[in-house]
């Protein structure tokens, strides 16, 4: 498993009964997680000291219960700063398990010893974008949500990357890639974090199981002659790392390199175990 274990200001303290107990800076949150199917004894005192808890509704969705949590706060990872806030569907604006991929991408960029252009698709609040830019890449950040792109820009400013070579775009990722192919533009690396299900700004429907394979085919047409890397993440149930590896292999045959896939996870500080948090697949050139 690829473990995001370099955090100083975030930790999974404990997890049981469908919930995880997390520290985000100085605040303690409880959020649901469907993979936590065990029901162990909740002996850690922090379970009784939470600043906010997200309650899942049996009819879908849910709501936050706030006890003592600001509307917005910040945490840091290495030289990056992220602004957090609780919003719908239990999220805070950051997926901390992705830090293991941020570090991997940044290392590849720094070691390339050449200019690197990165395309980040379904880019959310910009964790991968900022990490790549801080490592020296020129990044094109694409997300269909205007609010998420604005949030990513705030994170860039907070991280001292206001003037970094980042192109911010609110666009449907599929349509953007199609236009870039027609324009003849290419990138040395592509990062993508496609949702299980989503809609574009004009109602375009995305469903991971049926959309991802043709989309990968389009994306490979944007790669430069010797691409540095491709990274794809998935939180879709049933898409195991081996499935992601097979998918990427079908579209990367013309490039020389290797493909490896694995689960990503976070350490649980109270017991030394690991909480699985999704899967990633990586292509890296020879």
Q: What are the chain's domains?
A: 2-84 (2.60.40.1180), 96-285 (3.40.50.150)
Quote the pLDDT of residue 203. Answer: 75
| Spatial separation of the C-alpha atoms in residues 169 and 167, rounded to whole Å | 6
Quote the pLDDT of residue 29. Answer: 98
Quote the pLDDT of residue 237. Answer: 82
Q: What is the mean pLDDT of each run of 10 residues along the chain (286 residues)?
A: 98 97 98 95 95 89 93 97 92 97 98 97 97 98 96 98 98 95 98 86 79 95 97 91 96 96 98 96 95
Q: Which of 64, 78, 80, 60 shows the shortest CA–CA distance to 27?
A: 64
Quote the pLDDT of residue 201. Answer: 63
Contact assessment for residue 66 and residue 45, using Cβ atoms and an 8 Å cutoff: no
Quote the pLDDT of residue 11. Answer: 98
Contact assessment for residue 212 and residue 220, using Cβ atoms and an 8 Å cutoff: no
| Spatial separation of the C-alpha atoms in residues 233 and 118, rounded to whole Å | 16
Quote the pLDDT of residue 159. Answer: 98
Quote the pLDDT of residue 41. Answer: 94
| Spatial separation of the C-alpha atoms in residues 189 and 104, rounded to whole Å | 12
Quote the pLDDT of residue 286. Answer: 86
| Spatial separation of the C-alpha atoms in residues 15 and 11, rounded to whole Å | 11
What are φ and ψ of residue 184, in 5° steps? 80, 15
pTM for the full predicted model: 0.94
Q: Which of 77, 79, 73, 92 shows the shortest CA–CA distance to 29?
A: 92
Lookup result for tokens 């690197």: 116
Contact assessment for residue 228 and residue 207, using Cβ atoms and an 8 Å cutoff: no
| Spatial separation of the C-alpha atoms in residues 112 and 7, rounded to whole Å | 25
Quote the pLDDT of residue 61. Answer: 83
């Amino acid at each position: 498993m690829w473990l995001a274990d370099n955090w100083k200001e975030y930790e999974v303290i404990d997890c049981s009964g469908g919930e995880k107990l997390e520290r985000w800076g100085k605040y303690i949150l409880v959020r649901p997680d469907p993979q936590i199917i065990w029901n162990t004894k909740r002996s850690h005192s922090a379970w009784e000291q939470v600043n906010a808890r997200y309650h899942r509704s049996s009819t879908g969705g849910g709501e936050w219960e706030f006890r003592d949590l600001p509307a917005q706060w910040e945490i840091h990872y290495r030289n990056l700063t992220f602004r957090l806030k609780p919003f719908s569907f239990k999220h805070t604006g950051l997926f901390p398990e992705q830090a293991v991929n941020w570090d991997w991408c940044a290392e590849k960029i720094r070691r390339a010893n050449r200019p690197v252009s990165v395309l980040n698709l379904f880019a959310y609040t910009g964790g991968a974008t900022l990490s790549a830019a801080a490592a020296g890449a020129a990044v094109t950040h694409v997300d269909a949500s205007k609010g998420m792109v604005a949030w990513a820009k705030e994170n860039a400013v907070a991280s001292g990357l206001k003037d970094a070579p980042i192109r911010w775009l609110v666009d449907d990722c599929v349509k953007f890639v199609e236009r870039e192919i027609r324009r003849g533009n290419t990138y040395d690396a592509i990062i993508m974090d496609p949702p299980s299900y989503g809609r574009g700004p004009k109602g375009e429907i995305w469903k991971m199981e049926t959309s991802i394979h043709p989309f990968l085919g389009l994306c490979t047409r944007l790669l430069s002659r010797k691409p540095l890397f491709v990274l794809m993440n998935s939180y879709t149930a049933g898409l195991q790392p081996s499935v992601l590896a097979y998918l990427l292999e079908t579209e990367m045959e013309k490039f020389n390199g290797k493909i490896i896939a694995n689960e990503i996870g976070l350490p649980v500080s109270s017991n030394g175990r690991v909480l699985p948090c999704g899967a990633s697949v990586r292509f890296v050139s020879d």
